[in-house]
Copies of this chain bind each other. A is one copy, B any other.
């Protein structure tokens, strides 16, 4: 077994992001010589038995870790969640129908755009009035919609649904940035999809987990590339799948299972987010930008009340080996992304810098 290596950089990148150190070692070994085969994982056929087994194991791990019902299906495709935004109306919106959406920022906006292009979108609620700094609540989903779609966590604004909305129509969630970070009752959802490049693996693959009974009701004639039922029937091999990204997803999910699965990672994530937000709240020179009750455990957004201090703060965290905490341009300030594989040690390094900076500039 590979040994844990010492972190050289505390990687708070918003995604692609840090993965378990042992996964990097296993993946590098497979690039050189995969399981002693004499072949690199990069040169093997996707239809050969060894990779077919990787695909099967990865699908099974998704369902096991999330506790998905047996009949749910898992598909891996290229293209990121943006492809998912397109596939949702193609697979779930009836001809002449509409999708309902909650608008919580950039990713929801792109998803809504795809629904409009496919036929129509009903925006049931939006937090645009306060620059997406909160999660809308108390809205009603119209029963005439073909489905209701929401983004479980917004990476840019640092907001996260703490309770998933109820819906009288099939529920679909883009969970790209918090999948596998906390329990989900999969049976409540017609589909959950997620780009790999946060809690699942490297960039280059997107996971779709769905109830096959929810498909095939739209009356649309789909391209086989756009048809989730086709991809499921072909076990994600209708076209050449992203072999290496799927392999690294398998390694990452094996790591997650090995440390204790969702219950254990939920504890670790709560500890990391708790430490970071309590530091933001106790140091008056910092201020969180998201509504407290909607704060994301994955992406903590905060600013220096005095923006003139930013260059000095930036120099200090860079000196401490911290990387990737500059905020998105639409929020400014800072964003510390604390995905599953980020160790508590990295959050401690950051909060120590924050404390020291506050002491010098408080």
Contact = CB atoms under 8 A, between A and B. Distances in A.
Nearest to A110: B224
B18 A43 contact: yes
A150 B161 CA distance: 49
A38 interface: yes
Contacts of A219: none
A322 B40 CA distance: 15
Contact of A239 (B11, B31, B83): B83
Nearest to A51: B16
Among A18, A40, A222, the most chain B Cβ lie within 10 Å of the Cβ of A40
Contacts of A80: 78, 239-240
Among A81, A224, A321, the most chain B Cβ lie within 10 Å of the Cβ of A224
B38 A9 contact: yes
Contacts of A13: 43-45, 48
A77 interface: yes
Contacts of A195: 240
Contact of A31 (B8, B31, B221): B31
Interface residues of A, number: 67
A248 interface: yes
Contacts of A205: 78, 204
Interface string A27-54: 1110111000111101111101000000
A44 B16 contact: yes
A196 to B, nearest CB: 9
B113 A42 contact: no
Copies in the complex: 2
Contacts of A203: 46, 240-244
Interface string A193-211: 0010100011111000000
Contacts of A197: 240, 243
Nearest to A44: B16
A184 interface: no
A146 interface: no
A240 B45 contact: no
A287 interface: no
B32 A16 contact: no
B19 A113 contact: no
A8 B23 CA distance: 25
B39 A9 contact: yes
Contacts of A11: 39, 43
Contacts of A139: none
A46 B223 CA distance: 29
Given A28-B32, A45-B324, A204-B204, A78 B242 contact: yes
A77 B11 CA distance: 26
5 contacts: A8-B38, A16-B42, A27-B31, A28-B32, A86-B223
Top 5 closest A-B pairs, CB basis?
A: A78-B78, A8-B38, A204-B242, A82-B239, A80-B239
